[in-house]
Structure 1
């Protein structure tokens, strides 16, 4: 079997769960997941003994008694712990084994593994919020800590790749995904499974973090470094830095993309929204410095907001901003960014809406999905442009073309 292009795909919930198993059982679990037929959602997979042997620390023949020891360990000493918060706010913990049955014999060349019903949704029903990575990357890892940290880093790297492809994140937001910040306590809980909890960060760094990053840097295409973030007298967070050749090229490409023109910004639907909310006027729309700052700093954040919430929510937000703005700020772009950040931190504070409506996202308008249509199209669920706004935009376009 060619492992170079074979991928493991798992739900992010499983990525962030606590996997209580040694390195070898964990690698064999990942190998089994890589061979699941997600179309058929068949809970049974067969792994050739020769393939299993390539994941073992020794390369001699896979004797039946040795295989039995490995599979007994995989069956009896392997669990996942998933923690989440229910709708009523109560925390819940689920602990389950990955396999319900393992079959093999001396005269057969393959081992049959049957996944438990509990784990199947995390590896087959993957419509969103999942992570994929190469099974080959895990083959030479000697510690379960390395595998766990690698999977967490790949969760962020996958998001980076997805958003680069969709174009729905700014360069700064993409860079945050390549430089994720993880709580030390969270990472300690995911990795340290023995009695020694490494409460001192120095011990945790030496025993867990640095050996894991050394293996990741040696056996994969990624180069990962880190730095610590101190809160008070305690090292509370770790910021990882993930890079490879493709990340540098993609970020360079984003940096070198065509710059916005004044006409682009003036014709943006967001300019129409701001005009409609009376946050900008005709004079503002002809202020090149202001409009370019809006186009560069504010409009990309509105793209993200509309994708996350709805166009209707953005319109209501802008109305709230106008109604509560005592006087026009000197730096409108910074003011609008702060207002949007405050909205995200205090969702639901600005308008009282029925809970059922909060769950119903408005269908994204065509202009939010298609850049080519962005200049001219607003959905009927968006704002209804008034005649005055049409005239203002027409005059702006006429002035810029003269």
Structure 2
């Protein structure tokens, strides 16, 4: 049995906490593309993408990953981990590519992209250099529309390629359901179709790269649908069921039914507690209400104009509800004292002093800034009087 030193355990816990905060943001075309790779290169790609700051794209398409992050992400702690890491890198570069389908003229254009052509590391240093191909970058940065964000920690728990492929696609649909449920702009049946998306068997085989595999539908049902969806339901925040739609005597398509779990997996002991469940529901209802108000608030528009909020931030309910609850009431105070022009001047001032830390903790940064500024304004008014 391998004994892990206490210091190493502490580093693993710290790294795990850091990984749990990471998000993966990708264009929907990449999510619906054919991933010509197995689970290890696909998970490694997702890990590398989580390092990209979409507001400040990396120079030369390069990001830096620590081996400790890699080993923790893949839950590797044996003595052979360095050689396994080398094998995984080689495998990713030799076999991994995305085949993206684009509409063009009267048909489709197919583009094959090797996402990570260059990796550099040493056997005596923790840092790993990963360079994305220029062709993949448009699918990872400057994403204004048609993109999906999901948690890296949920990908790390999935152990089959098909579970990862389906999870990304299901997240894409459910994110659209949440977005249009709050923002509007779609008919009710369209909104519900995002929560209950349908895909033909042909398209499903294409996306999972199983056109020539599992020809017996019973095997396809087990290995491409049932087992992966059970894995997604067990290890992620999504709960998924499905039904088969027949056309004649054969199965023509699959309808997926997606819901978000109300109670976290690690709180299973509370799942039968009605007080806890009611509290969680009220908490989520309050957050949803605050999010809707924040989206409609003129202050959100001002923050976007000053580049203090990004389009990706608008998909994060915790940021929006936090702004509506803790920041916007203080902007109302400043507006009363200095008018809307005063609010704009304050935002322009703090934008010029923003650093990388504040960009990753934008709600906290804005709250702290206005809390420090309001007393100054009030003192100035008293002195003036």
1:81–1:93 CA contact under 8 A, matched in 2 = yes
Counting helix residues as a fraction of each chain, which structure ranks higher? Answer: 2
Q: Secondary structure at the match of 1:3?
A: helix
Matches within 5 A, 1:139-218: 139-193=156-210, 197-218=213-234
Where do 5+ consecutive residues of structure 2 fail to align? 1-14, 264-279, 290-385
Where do 5+ consecutive residues of structure 1 fail to align? 258-402
Is 1:51 paired with 2:69? yes
Shift in Å, 1:8: 0.4
Instruction: Give the match for residue 123 of structure 1.
Output: 140
Count residues in correspondence. Answer: 251
Instruction: Give the match for residue 31 of structure 2.
Output: 15
Is 1:232 paired with 2:248? yes
For residues 57 and 206 of structure 1, the distance between their equivalents in structure 2, rounded to whole angstroms, comes to 26
Matches within 5 A, 1:20-99: 20-42=36-58, 43-56=61-74, 58-61=76-79, 63-86=81-104, 88-99=105-116
1:49–1:62 CA contact under 8 A, matched in 2 = no
For residues 109 and 142 of structure 1, the distance between their equivalents in structure 2, rounded to whole angstroms, comes to 25
Question: TM-score under structure 1 normalisation?
Answer: 0.59
Shift in Å, 1:245: 4.3
Q: 1:4 to 1:56 in 2, by over 3 A?
A: closer
Q: Secondary structure at the match of 2:122?
A: coil
For residues 179 and 163 of structure 1, the distance between their equivalents in structure 2, rounded to whole angstroms, comes to 14
Question: TM-score under structure 2 normalisation?
Answer: 0.61
For residues 97 and 156 of structure 2, the distance between their equivalents in structure 1, rounded to whole angstroms, comes to 21
Shift in Å, 1:90: 3.5
For residues 120 and 157 of structure 2, the distance between their equivalents in structure 1, rounded to whole angstroms, comes to 26
String of CA shifts for 1:171-219, please: whole Å, max 9, x gaps.
Answer: 44322211111111111111135x9511222111111111111110111
1:53–1:62 CA contact under 8 A, matched in 2 = no
Q: 1:103 to 1:38 in 2, by over 3 A?
A: same
2:36–2:209 CA contact under 8 A, matched in 1 = no
Q: Secondary structure at the match of 1:94?
A: strand
For residues 95 and 75 of structure 2, the distance between their equivalents in structure 1, rounded to whole angstroms, comes to 19
Instruction: Give the match for residue 223 of structure 1.
Output: 239
Q: Give the structure with higher Rg (CA).
A: 1
Q: Secondary structure at the match of 2:251?
A: strand
String of CA shifts for 1:313-341, please: whole Å, max 9, x gaps.
Answer: xxxxxxxxxxxxxxxxxxxxxxxxxxxxx
1:85–1:92 CA contact under 8 A, matched in 2 = yes
String of CA shifts for 1:29-56, please: whole Å, max 9, x gaps.
Answer: 0010011122232111111111101232
Q: 1:14 to 1:241 in 2, by over 3 A?
A: same
Q: Secondary structure at the match of 1:202?
A: helix
Matches within 5 A, 1:95-110: 95-110=112-127
Task: Give RMSD over aligned pairs.
Answer: 2.4
For residues 73 and 63 of structure 2, the distance between their equivalents in structure 1, rounded to whole angstroms, comes to 17
